[in-house]
Amino acid sequence: MPISRDQAQHLARLSKLTLTDEELDHLAPQLDEIIKAVGRIQEVATEGIPPTFPEVPIMHPFHDDLVRTQPEAEEFPARASTHRDGGFRLPSASDEG
């Protein structure tokens, strides 16, 4: 059963999306295709197939917190190449060089 425009509008509302009538008309058939694709994936016979695991051991990305001493706020302007009124001037991301 195809996704109706009303169902697409309901989903958009649940997702807190404001869509125009044209966007809803375009979205409904796309959602229908997505649901059909998921249905085809669910039809794949996976009984008896063991789950795969990475061959490389997973390194835990977390580490213990380290307490480090930080300079006092008053020291930062002295370390900055350009500062004014408590702020710092940084090079623009678009500056070359």
| Pick among 2.30.30, 3.40.1130, 1.10.20, 1.10.287: CATH of 5-42 | 1.10.20
Q: Cα separation of 12 and 31, whole Å?
A: 11
Q: How far is CA 12 from CA 4, 35, 80, in A?
A: 12, 16, 48
Report the mean per-residue pLDDT for the chain.
82
pTM of the model: 0.45
Residue bearing tokens 């090079």: 91
Comparison of pLDDT for 83 and 68, the residue scoring more: 68
Measured distance CA(78)–CA(91) in Å, rounded: 17
Contact 29, 3 (CB under 8 A): yes
pLDDT digits (tens, 9 = 90+) for 4-37: 889 999 999 999 999 999 999 999 999 999 999 9
Domains of the chain, residue spans = 5-42
Tokens of 78: 């002295």
